[in-house]
Amino acid sequence: MNLTQKEYLALYRQMLVIRRTEEQLAKAHQAGLIPGACHTYIGQEAIATGVCANLTAQDAVFSTHRGHGHALAKGVPPREVMAELFGRVTGCSRGRGGSMHLFAPEVGMMGTSGIVGPCILQATGAGYSSRLLNNGTVGVAFFGDGASNNGAFHEGLNLAAIWDLPVIFVFENNMYATEVPFSYATRNTDMAERARTYGMNGVSVDGNDVLAVYEAAAAGVRRARAGEGPTLLDCKTYRTRAHSEGMPSLGSYRTQEEVDAWKSRDPIMTYRARLLHEGIASESDCEAIDMEVQALIDESFEFAKNSPYPNPATVAEHIFSS
Amino acid sequence: MRELTFTAAAREALAEEMARDPSIFVVGEGVGARGGNFNTTTGLYELYGPMRLRDTPIVERGFIGMCTGAAMTGTRPVVDFMFVDFILDAMGELINQVAKIQYMSSGRLKMPLVLRGSIGISGASATHHSGSYFPMFVNIPGFRVVVPTNAYDAKGLFKTALRGDDPVIFLEHKALLNAKAQVPEEEYFIPFGQAAIVREGTQATAVAVGSMVRRTLEACEALAGEGISIEVIDPRTLAPLDIATILQSVHKTGRLLIVDETFAPCGIGAEIAAQVAAHGFDDLDAPIQRLNGVYTPTPYSPPLEAAVVPNTTQIVQAIRDLLAE
């Protein structure tokens, strides 16, 4: 790894922004500020952070129902994510979307989706645009283990492979599709191998290690920009909160021991320890970031909470381009 | 003036727009060197190569989803789906993604995606190659739904589709593809939401859709011999629907028949009838009538196939019945 201290700390800060935003959202959901669904990304922050650190605002990200982390890592301000979940006009989708429909094309966040699978195809299309316009951008799809058995996975990977499209498929294996174990839903769980059967580059990586994700994504993005085709990143991780806020954390599908074991491998805590251990940053460097992020989250929450709702008279605007 | 077939006129529109705008590309099965199953892209592959005339595997959901992402990132895809029946595999992509993305992004993303291909009952195509399904698309906010019925309209409407930023479902009835009409050399556009009065008359209004326009004109020609005067309207686009032109006609004639090959329940005729009943009730001298194809999957055997589509005799009778009310 050849990062500056500033870059190392930026990864730490980005993960922390996601974590603190999600914690604030979880609290807000309990307080009744979020009228709809809220799927948190807590435990998976290293993946969005490590991948998006390799992208520019022109690169197009397509995401899932668990997409707050992707939006934040791609550059959507926390205040706009919070305001969107609160249904406010200052939200990134102007209150039309909520948790599962976060759009901010100005930073290349081309949408999260309430439907599992389409992001894989749309990222492939962004890769097609890149090739046709010859602009060097990449398309990126974030999706979970649940999407990997969907037809969109097969069709999208095949199209990207046969046309050597600049696409990064980020497979986030958090082990459960809602509450269905990946090991139950799939016979071959080696996703890097599955990628290779499509004739594409497939790489397995520890999804809780932000540097490992960063490095693997960097190699994939480099290949894509060089015209060497798509890559699938197989990232093993874990969501430590419930599938959706308000649902039981354990349910009938996992044990407290399993959750605790993964919490002990928390991507932010372990990364911070590593920065300190390897002398990359000091305790006070990290604390300064902790405080700055907390202030940002507090300010974002106040902003979102105090933002107005959209005007009902605008409800039928933007169905068409004009 | 020169005459072109429907297919040649639409192809000319595509060729002109591809020459003008390098971000337009076409995907579909056989659209490359083969030139399209219906000759929709003949000669274009030689000009523009595989990036812009992209042969695909048989993955309708896959390439429609891919084109959705492409349309969001600066290019203008044209999906040449061959038969509309084939894109039923992509209804999730179409309804949940294509139709909604402009709205969900509060207008910050555009969706310049044109989906074009054949519809309709013709030539013993049987039930997986005979669908039309346009009422389903009309029901969803976010689609422009275009059903041209002659070469002139096909070119002008396709040009408008290719210039716009909205998703367009461009539906070409198989029975009309080889029909010729006068098409000027000069460039022209036909705006969406502008019906054509294809025959003027005074005693009743017949709104006909797709291949029913020609049959309805034949029926009216036959009735003209008896001094019966019928106005025939071709909506040309079903979304947006030019209800104003229909209302004006009903204001004049007092009677309305809607002729449509597709199914009656929740169909375009039901929509037109409801709108005319709501806004033109005082103009009506008789109940609004519909003549639709039989509510059944499309059979193969020619006598069965012919039995599901309204024919000229039935249209004549429907008009007589309407006038007798």
pLDDT digits (tens, 9 = 90+) for B185-239: 999 999 999 999 999 999 999 999 999 999 999 999 999 999 999 999 999 999 9
Nearest to B66 among A93, A121, A321 (CB): A121
Domain range A5-29+37-303, CATH class: alpha beta
**CATH ID of B196-324, from 3.40.1260.10, 3.40.1410.10, 3.40.50.11900, 3.40.50.920:** 3.40.50.920
- Beta strand pairing call for B144-146 and B237-239: antiparallel
Is residue B146 classed exposed, middle or buried when 0-12, 13-18 and 19+ CB atoms within 10 A define those classes? buried
Report how far residue A261's alpha carbon sits from residue A239's, in angstroms, rounded to the nearest whole number: 12
Yes or no: say if A200 and A231 are a contact pair by the CB < 8 Å rule: yes
Nearest to A125 among B73, B103, B104 (CB): B73
- Beta strand pairing call for A176-177 and A180-181: antiparallel
Say whether B173 is catalytic: no
For residue A181, report the phi and psi dihedrals to the nearest 5 degrees: -65, 140
Tell me which chain A residues have a C-beta less than 8 angstroms from the C-beta of B110. Answer: 321
Contact B73 A130 (CB under 8 A): yes
Tell me which chain B residues have a C-beta less than 8 angstroms from the C-beta of A147. Answer: none
Report how far residue A195's alpha carbon sits from residue A5's, in angstroms, rounded to the nearest whole number: 34
Q: Which of A138, A153, A296 is nearest to A234 (CA)?
A: A153
How far A281 CA lies from chain B's nearest CA (Å)?
39
Query: Is 80 exceeded by the pLDDT of residue B307?
Result: yes
CATH 3.40.50.970 domain extents, chain B: 3-182
Terminal alpha carbon distance of chain A: 49
How far B225 CA lies from chain A's nearest CA (Å)?
46
ipTM exceeding 0.85?
A: yes
CATH of domain B3-182: 3.40.50.970
Residue tagged 């060197």 (tokens) = B33
**Residue-wise pLDDT tens digits, B42-89:** 999 999 999 999 999 999 999 999 999 999 999 999 999 999 999 999
How far A266 CA lies from chain B's nearest CA (Å)?
33
How far A42 CA lies from chain B's nearest CA (Å)?
25
**Residue-wise pLDDT tens digits, B253-282:** 999 999 999 999 999 999 999 999 999 999
Say whether B221 is catalytic: no
Contact A122 B164 (CB under 8 A): no
Range A1-37 burial, b when 16+ CB lie within 10 A, else e:
eeeeeeebbebbbbbbbbbbbbebbbebbeeebbeeb
Long-range pairs, B57-61, Cβ under 8 A, ≥24: B57/A158, B57/A159, B57/A162, B57/B29, B58/B29, B59/A155, B59/A158, B59/A159, B60/B86, B60/B87, B60/B89, B60/B90, B61/A121, B61/A151, B61/A152, B61/A155, B61/B89, B61/B90, B61/B92, B61/B93
3-state secondary structure of B144: strand
The stretches in chain A having pLDDT less than 50 are none
Strand boundaries in A1-89, DSSP class E: 60-62
Instruction: Determine the residue type at B91.
Output: M
CATH 3.40.50.920 domain extents, chain B: 196-324
Yes or no: say if B259 and B317 are a contact pair by the CB < 8 Å rule: no
Nearest to B65 among A121, A129, A130 (CB): A121
What is the structure's pLDDT at A251? Answer: 87
Contact B65 A155 (CB under 8 A): yes
Kindly state the tokens that stand for B221.
């020609």
Mean pLDDT of B155-178: 98
Nearest to A103 among B92, B104, B164 (CB): B104
Report how far residue B276's alpha carbon sits from residue B255's, in angstroms, rounded to the nearest whole number: 10
For residue A142, report the phi and psi dihedrals to the nearest 5 degrees: -100, 130
What is the structure's pLDDT at A322? Answer: 87
Is residue A211 classed exposed, middle or buried when 0-12, 13-18 and 19+ CB atoms within 10 A define those classes? middle
Best A99, A155, A158, A163 residue to mutate vs chain B (most B CBs within 10 Å): A155
Contact B70 A128 (CB under 8 A): yes
What is the structure's pLDDT at A209? Answer: 98
Report how far residue B154's alpha carbon sits from residue A316's, in angstroms, rounded to the nearest whole number: 30
